[in-house]
Structure 1
Amino acid sequence: RYYGCMGLTAASETGIIDGHDKDETIQVWQRGNEKFPGLKLVNVDTSTREGIARAKKLGLAKSGLADIVFAPLPYFALTMFDPNHQARFFALFRHPIERAVSMFYYRQVASWERDPNVYKPDLAKVDIEDWLKNRGGKADVSNFLMSSLLGKRYFSEKDLEKAKEILRSKVLVGLLSKMEESVQRFDTYFGWYENNEKRSKCQESAIQKGVNRNPHESVEEGSEAWELLADLNYYDLQLYEYILELYEEQGRELFGEGVEQKVEESTTITSE
């Protein structure tokens, strides 16, 4: 919502609502509400493998219509691009266990989700520990980051090193725990500072106040649920430690004093 508020044209899961999944040609349409008027959307859904295939077929990358592409499945999203129509990747990362816990509670209330496998109101009656042990929750929260980057579910130490190299060479990383600082890095790198007054208002409404937040109980470190999640996210936890290091490294190398940013105009792609 922040970048939509900033006036950027986005490709995301929202692009196909109101019947736009039936469109036969690629186009931009506007949707808005009182808080975020005039959101500009490309009529594709880049959040699923099926949507990515449709976006590729319609020529999303070649069209140049999207300033930013939201893609939670980067391994598959890259198939939309080619050597003549490329993108730069940036992403906000969250601690894997915090993300897994948040997802458990999100699924209890997410009645707006189109995917029937996401919204599970019956989980409101289930303890997270019981869900992990007895109700099939393990598959939903196991090494999400690694799966997103590599497009598979079972990993080795070699896969971990491959994921690190992808992040190091391809991704401008941000941290959810340092949201405002991370967004400032993104805006600096991509040159999204043209309208400072608008940017300030968008920060206040979409970042500082937050959208799509779902307050919930936390899982204490050291608890049985925490340890279960740690075992399930063995590779993700190691990868996240590397992301923390990479965040500091990029801060020094890309955003240190006296460092100039020379960024060509292009589509950008992000994962949440």
Structure 2
Amino acid sequence: MISSPPFRQRKIIGKIITAALFVGALFVLIAAKIHFTESIGSHRLDNDVTPSPNSRRQLQMLEKFGLSQHTAHLNFEIYNGETGETLLSLGDENEANPLNNLVDSRAPRNGHGRETAFFFHIRKSKGGAVKNIMTHCFNLRRAEKRTSPESLTFVDGVLNIDTQTLAGLKKAQETNLVDSGLVDVIVSSYFFEGMMLFNPTHQGRAFTFLPHPVYQTESLYRSLKKRYPDSFRRTDISEWVQSDAFTDNWVVRSLINQHSGELTEDHLVVAKIILAQKFVVGISQYPKETLKRLVMYYGWNEVNGKGFECMNHFLNLENDEDVQFEGKIERGSERWNFLSTVNKYDMDLYYYSLQLFAKQGSTLFGRPYVDKDGVPIDFAKLKAQKDKEKLEAFLNSFHAGDE
């Protein structure tokens, strides 16, 4: 059958419309791709967490430690939490990345190069007990200023070099402390500067104890008030934490090396990445379990076979500074909410560290979930107990109605 001219025209017009729609869709896809690329580019700029003043500070620190010739940009890594895409990165191949001075926590102990333990000491987090335990229970050599002037001599089993001040860390770097073989562990409350004592061929293997930010802040305030009564006589905690004398979110700021200015969620992301990748995470409210893990992880040898007995001795000697206010500051109270808000990023990091603590117990140590004393938790027993309590509460509700 021969098609009529009108039918053929309609057929040709239909093909033209189809082709036009296809070309239009193609242009839409191209435009969308261009917009997506531009948006990713702007997103990268928006997520640059290192403002210029802090970049200058990092460069100054690198110059101080003789490493400034390697870099002009020192951002740590930021990832898109949803896609896993690297938004900002100072690549592993770049020697200037300070994080290359630390081993990834999951890297095998028999890796290439030399290593030395690095204890990032967060104030009010069992630091005194941990240092005594390392020295007296495991005969680990560390540095701490004991007498003036500093010297490469041991005083009471401790090398007389100060690693808790910037000036002391500079001296430790000048004396090549890490490569000297004089110490088994570096202890410092300066994360970035302490990390600079190491290098990619002699790396640090880091651990820390994280305290609860609310209890830690309360403890620090009361400790300073006791030490400097005249200065704090008329200063309550709310005034103190809002003053220049207090550094909010100290742990997050230390990890990302930004000690002033406003923080954002992106800064928190970077701190979480550093904590997860570079640290064996300890919790100061679970010291026994944390120390058991450290012994396993670092292969520390007990002195006279009484390591855990010795550990318990020093843990009992030190007051639970960061937990003594647990239960005394009611959750949800005005004081609790205030201190939580001031340290909102440290609070988020702390709760994240609890997740890491549980995860590392399984992935790094093959250990079950345990309580604060390191005793395995019987979840079946706990469930049975809760079911029993629910049943008793249900039955009691009937008895209450009979009264």
Query: What TM-score do you get using the length of structure 2 for normalisation?
Result: 0.53
| 1:193-204 alignment runs, 5 A limit | 193-195=301-303, 197-204=305-312
What is aligned with 1:231?
341
What is aligned with 1:210?
317
Letter in 2 for 1:222: G
Letter in 2 for 1:4: T
Q: 1:51 aligns with which of 143, 168, 179?
A: 168
Letter in 1 for 2:318: V
CA distance 1:109–1:4, change in 2 (3 Å): farther
| 1:97-246 alignment runs, 5 A limit | 97-110=214-227, 119=228, 122-123=231-232, 126-132=235-241, 136=243, 140-153=246-259, 154-195=262-303, 197-207=305-315, 209-211=316-318, 218-246=328-356
Instruction: Note if 1:18 corresponds to 2:124.
Output: no
**SS of aligned partner of 2:282:** strand
Mapped to 1, the partners of 2:235 and 2:267 lie a distance apart of 34
Mapped to 1, the partners of 2:218 and 2:280 lie a distance apart of 25
**SS of aligned partner of 1:86:** strand
User: Is the CA contact (8 Å cut-off) linking 1:29 and 1:41 kept in structure 2?
Assistant: yes
Instruction: Note if 1:252 corresponds to 2:362.
Output: yes
User: Is the CA contact (8 Å cut-off) linking 1:109 and 1:121 kept in structure 2?
Assistant: no
User: Is the CA contact (8 Å cut-off) linking 1:129 and 1:224 kept in structure 2?
Assistant: no
What is aligned with 2:136?
5
CA distance 1:164–1:257, change in 2 (3 Å): closer
Shift of 1:149: 0.7
Shift of 1:199: 1.0
Q: Which runs of 5+ in 2 are unaligned?
A: 1-131, 369-403
Mapped to 1, the partners of 2:250 and 2:348 lie a distance apart of 12
1:220-267, Cα deviation, whole Å (9 max, x unpaired): 322322222112111111111111111111001011169xxxxxxxxx
**SS of aligned partner of 2:206:** strand
What is aligned with 1:60?
177
Letter in 1 for 2:135: G
Deviates further, 119-128 or 150-159? 119-128
Mapped to 2, the partners of 1:239 and 1:139 lie a distance apart of 22
Letter in 2 for 1:131: W
Mapped to 2, the partners of 1:151 and 1:121 lie a distance apart of 32
Shift of 1:132: 3.8
Letter in 1 for 2:146: I
| 1:76-115 alignment runs, 5 A limit | 76-110=193-227
Mapped to 2, the partners of 1:63 and 1:49 lie a distance apart of 20
User: Is the CA contact (8 Å cut-off) linking 1:132 and 1:228 kept in structure 2?
Assistant: no
Mapped to 1, the partners of 2:334 and 2:245 lie a distance apart of 18
User: Is the CA contact (8 Å cut-off) linking 2:282 and 2:357 kept in structure 1?
Assistant: yes
Mapped to 1, the partners of 2:361 and 2:161 lie a distance apart of 33
Letter in 2 for 1:127: D
Q: Which runs of 5+ in 1 are unaligned?
A: 32-39, 111-118, 259-272
| Count of paired positions | 231
Mapped to 2, the partners of 1:221 and 1:189 lie a distance apart of 35
Letter in 2 for 1:183: L
What is aligned with 2:78?
none
User: Is the CA contact (8 Å cut-off) linking 2:240 and 2:246 kept in structure 1?
Assistant: no
**SS of aligned partner of 1:70:** strand
User: Is the CA contact (8 Å cut-off) linking 1:141 and 1:232 kept in structure 2?
Assistant: no
Letter in 1 for 2:220: M
Letter in 1 for 2:154: W
Mapped to 1, the partners of 2:320 and 2:153 lie a distance apart of 28
Shift of 1:121: 5.1
Deviates further, 171-180 or 141-150? 141-150
Letter in 2 for 1:108: K
Shift of 1:128: 2.3
Mapped to 2, the partners of 1:168 and 1:141 lie a distance apart of 23
Shift of 1:5: 0.9
Mapped to 2, the partners of 1:234 and 1:257 lie a distance apart of 31
CA distance 1:232–1:60, change in 2 (3 Å): same
Mapped to 2, the partners of 1:55 and 1:120 lie a distance apart of 34
CA distance 1:94–1:121, change in 2 (3 Å): farther
Letter in 1 for 2:250: F
Identity among equivalent positions (%) equals 29
RMSD: 2.4
Letter in 1 for 2:248: S
Mapped to 2, the partners of 1:126 and 1:89 lie a distance apart of 37
Shift of 1:198: 3.2
